[in-house]
A and B are shown apart, each in its own frame.
Chain A
Amino acid sequence: MTVPTMAEMMAQGKQPEVLFWVGCAGSFDDRAKKITKAFVKILNKANVDFAVLGTEESCTGDPAKRSGNEFLFQMQAMTNIEVMNAYEVKKVVTACPHCFNTLKNEYPDLGGTYDVMHHTQFLKTLLNDGRISIEGGSYKGKRITFHDPCYLGRANDVYEAPRELIRKLEGELIEMKRCKRNGLCCGAGGAQMFKEPEKGSKDINVERTEDALEVKPDIIATGCPFCNTMMTDGIKNKENEEVKVLDIVELIANAQDL
């Protein structure tokens, strides 16, 4: 696995095609790290000229902003923007819809304007340009349902890119009753990931997992490390060991034995 950093690139006088923004979950969460690695394997296979910020990356500030701490958010944003602008970053790809939304929508006002893509959008362009091919492999004919991350779907109207990739896997894409703009949240957004839910009758991730199990999938596909955690917990709660929760890049990487 080759993972160059922006600093190394700069030392060699090179400017990569795209910055891979790993994000905190992708860097530290054991489950999400697997998603990060799957994505890097695909980037390597496709010979994409990319780099990461490595230890120079810091939280985008999204959870702080959704918690109402605008100070902390803007401190984080301005620090990150300074780093990215110093490297003259033009294009950013990330596997986290929260980072994606913040970088794309909330950084430009503060001086950080980049062409930001979610990893599913980026993979779609690689596919369209013939730089990668997607085969079904072991997923051929499997029932796959896609859970729309709120910050990818409703927040940014990206519904088709992840679905197109799933269709390429030759799996059977089955939609939950509530999907796309009507998709139900997994329960992690708005900084809920970092706190216990308020008092209620049920956990949101369990409600959403029930939606998914209703369509009897083999796989619940996601495009967000937090949705992944929530849905995985939901499946555990339902004591269902057959259904797997996987990120779309994991499906693509696994299908090709990467």
Chain B
Amino acid sequence: MQYIPNILFAIILVLGITFFVRNVKKLIRNIKLGKSVDRSDNSSLRWKNMIKIALGQSKMVRRPVSGILHLVVYIGFIIINIEVLEIVIDGLFGTHRLFQGFLGAQLYGVLIGIFEFLAFLVFVAVIVFWIRRNIINIKRFLNKEMKGWPKNDGNFILYFEMVLMTLFLVMNATDTPFQEANVGNIISQYIAPIFSGIEAQTLHLIERGAWWAHIIGILIFLNYLYYSKHLHILLAFPNTYFANLNAKGRFDNLASVTNEVKLMLDPTADPFAAPTEEDANAVPEKFGAQDVSDLNWVQLLNAYTCTECGRCTSVCPANQTGKELSPRAIMMKTRDRVEEVGKNIDANGKFEDDGKTLFDTIATEELWACTSCNACVEECPVNIDPLSIIMDMRRYEVMEKSAAPQELNMMMTNIENNGAPWQYNQMDRLNWKDEE
């Protein structure tokens, strides 16, 4: 009978982790729906970027208020998780504060003291975050894509963190031997008086309740990640590692187009040549992106990594001047569509055409409002590239559907006919030399 809590704990732990692993597998499968793109080069620079940008939060603190608050929550999250290791071992073996034994009361006290202090700071930071999201009118939290689930999601995460930190402190405050030792209880000693006068038995029950609720809460939170914008706590690392390293102005040259253009410019090419057997059976490659499977896997990883902070949208010149485009919404809609395709695969075994594409949610008006200025790419704290998705979708509009805005068609006709975007004769290119 005395092993029931241990067994129960083991079952909950295994369930929590199994479910999480299942979702991670699904996540990886969905990201792999994207086309291949080689990001295996220059691994030393990639590691450096990951350490600086994801681990070191270098781009977060460009905005000092939210940056430093985020840093507090981030450091708190990582360090307090050391305590989770002890909780898991205690839970499995029925021990109580196992680390106290071999670290010694003093060192253990210092450690818990740091945890308690961080837990308190995290609690305060999270309250400020909540106020920023719900009371102060910060524009980037009020854009239209932030209505409904995205807004609730943001708040749920904050509530989760508030509850977890509270449980952690209550657990310490109601741990009578720990309070009596009076080492490391720097925050919980102020909470303990709330429980004074409660008899030892009940106090122990509260302590156990907080302990169980805390660890179960963590497991629930772990499994909430996949359904939430909060996935960034994991994906920020691979995302910064695999991000584009080229100059931001360098857009990729479509290889499929290069082959055709070379053929067109080759005077020895025979336009009437019969295709080789291999060519005859090949499916012609689609130009640009119509759906998520036309994007590359890094773009899909970008979509899952986005935590909807909206810094991109807040610096977007189109968005600031009232246009429909919001780079954040592009990322959110891409993620929603990958998820939809993933669910379709779950239900049918493979993707069954559902007649939908990215264009169902991303309007061409958004795509054509972009100035390709790279402000969104520069601003993203985890190096997401919304511009590349916008460009790939423009390519589809123009090359597959010939649906460019009329004025751009005129511009392109001019380039084709006379080598300039305006109607000037190429032979007049040097006239400026002799003009006054």
Contact = CB atoms under 8 A, between A and B. Distances in A.
B426 A55 contact: yes
B429 interface: yes
Nearest to B427: A55
> Which residue, of B253, B371, B404, B435, has the highest number of chain A Cβ atoms within 10 A?
B371
A199 B321 contact: no
Contacts of A66: 251, 372, 391
A67 B250 contact: no
Given A154-B373, A199-B323, A105 B247 contact: yes
Given A68-B391, A75-B265, A78-B261, A200 B318 contact: yes
A39 to B, nearest CB: 11
B401 to A, nearest CB: 10
Interface string A29-50: 1000100110000000000000
B415 A201 contact: no
A154 B404 contact: no
> Which residue, of B317, B324, B415, B433, has the highest number of chain A Cβ atoms within 10 A?
B415
Interface stretch (A57-65, A120-128, A243-251): A57-65
A154 B375 contact: yes
Please tell me the size bucket of the interface on B.
Answer: 35 or more
B315 interface: yes
> Which residue, of A66, A67, A182, A208, has the highest number of chain B Cβ atoms within 10 A?
A67
Contact of B399 (A71, A79, A150): A71
Interface stretch (B50-58, B92-100, B108-116, B405-413): B405-413
Contact of A189 (B372, B377, B435): B372
A182 B320 CA distance: 14
A63 B414 CA distance: 11
B242 interface: no
A24 B422 contact: yes
A101 B250 contact: yes
Contacts, number: 215
Contacts of A187: 317, 371
A209 to B, nearest CB: 12
Given A200-B322, A201-B321, A202-B321, A190 B429 contact: no
Interface string A3-39: 1010000000000000000101011110001001100
A150 B371 contact: yes
A191 interface: yes
A154 B378 contact: yes
Contacts of B407: 194-196
Contact of A192 (B371, B391, B398, B430): B371
Interface in A131-189: 150-151, 154-157, 181-182, 184-185, 187-189
A55 B430 contact: yes
A190 B395 CA distance: 13
Nearest to A23: B420
Contact of B317 (A69, A78, A201, A207): A207
B394 interface: yes
Nearest to B405: A195
9 contacts: A5-B430, A55-B429, A68-B404, A71-B399, A74-B261, A76-B419, A104-B247, A150-B375, A194-B410
Given A75-B261, A109-B258, 18 more contacts: A27-B431, A28-B422, A55-B426, A59-B415, A59-B421, A67-B404, A70-B287, A71-B257, A101-B249, A106-B250, A106-B251, A110-B253, A155-B250, A155-B374, A184-B317, A189-B372, A200-B322, A202-B322
